[in-house]
Amino acid sequence: MKNFLSINAFLWVLFQTLNAQTLESDNFNSYTIGNIGTDITASTPGQGGFYTDFAGGSNSEAQIVNVDVSHGKSLQLTGSAGSTGTKYMWKNGLGTSWAARTAGNDILKLSFKLYTGSVIGGVGRATVLIYDGTTHKTLLGAGYEYDTQRIVGIAYYTKVSTAVTGNYLFYLEPATNTYPPNTWITLNCTFNKTTGIVTWITPGGTAYSPASTHTPAAAGVDPFELDFVSVVGAGNTVAHITSFDDYMVTAVNSSTLGTKETIEEESNISVYPNPATDFINIQSASPVSKVEIFDNTGRSMNTQPDHNKIDIRNLTPGIYTISMEIKGNKFSKKFIRK
């Protein structure tokens, strides 16, 4: 996917990169196609140092595959076809890297790509979760729910109405925003150790944090481990297949998370409806001078803009990126053509 950055946006990204610390990351391109694990009891690490804990499963349920040419190799998990058998996969060292981070980098940031796979329905989800070291608090995490085809976030919060504290699941977008099979999506989220607040950025670029119905409960807690997880629920009969790619965990500070004018401008941009069938509209605090739409390979699509309204009826269903030029800066948002 091409990046469309103005000079200001480029400088902001460079600034963030220089101040961020990479704690753990992988794109899986150096791995060998086939099984990634050595055993399913987490006794011996496999490729890349990954451990697999697949109760009742097999090594073939965690593999390195080529989903498509544009993404190269990725990690594929196959979930249980029954109501039990949650699968976990991780590598050691995140807690040590976090402890050695630069002073002041107290915000944990997670980003990754997820492929929704060819099989939906059933009861279950695929997620990337970051836990603490003792009580399995989920400090932050995100993923895909198979039956609703929606993206979800998971974090350690207290529900105000019941005063119950635990790992809660949050839907990050309205129920009308769904992601069909065989679709790549990108998810980003942050955990602020000082406040315990978790914020997710959806594939469309919208920020979400739990409403006043929940309050953060993990302030002061340190991360210990990142897991790729395939979980099933009661009544499930589907063996879900999901892929992950380009994941990265970084430690950053608040000054790298968006104080530039460019980022403030971007927060005033919305693309709607999303998903859309015939037309999409751009809402911006400033006039939009140029618009381009790209498919997931970075190819420019033939569209007919009419001021801030764009005809997308000639696009095939899928996820697209719309690039907009506003006040000399370029921004991009993702949308779904149903």
pLDDT by residue (tens digit) across 264-282? 444 467 788 888 889 998 8
pLDDT by residue (tens digit) across 278-298? 999 887 766 777 888 888 777
Domain's final residue, options 197, 230, 256 = 256
Q: Is the pLDDT of residue 154 over 50?
A: yes
Average confidence (pLDDT) over 81-104: 93
Q: Do 218 and 326 fall within a single domain?
A: no
Reported as type and span, the H/E element at residue 17 is helix 7-19
- Residue 300 confidence (pLDDT): 82
Contact yes or no for 205/128 (Cβ under 8 A): no
Residue 310 in any domain: the answer is yes
- Residue 19 confidence (pLDDT): 61
- Is residue 45 reached through a cis peptide bond, with omega within 30 degrees of 0 on the bond before it? no
| Comparison of pLDDT for 21 and 154, the residue scoring more | 154
- Residue 288 confidence (pLDDT): 79
Q: Is the pLDDT of residue 113 over 70?
A: yes
Domain's final residue, options 221, 256, 291 = 256
Contact yes or no for 223/108 (Cβ under 8 A): yes
Residue 296 in any domain: the answer is yes
Whether the full predicted model's pTM is greater than 0.85, yes or no, is no
Domain carrying residue 319 = 268-337
Q: Do 191 and 314 fall within a single domain?
A: no
Average confidence (pLDDT) over 241-251: 94
Q: Is the pLDDT of residue 263 over 60?
A: no
Contact yes or no for 140/217 (Cβ under 8 A): no
pLDDT by residue (tens digit) across 292-315? 888 877 778 877 677 778 999 989
pLDDT by residue (tens digit) across 180-209? 999 999 899 999 999 999 999 888 777 888
Q: Is the pLDDT of residue 2 over 60?
A: no
305 CA to centre of own chain: 30
For residue 308, the domain's CATH number is 2.60.40.10
Give the closest residue to 229 by CA, choosing from 54, 26, 111, 35.
54
Q: What angle do CA 36, 66, 338 make, to 5 degrees?
A: 125
Q: Do 181 and 155 fall within a single domain?
A: yes
Q: Is the pLDDT of residue 325 over 80?
A: no
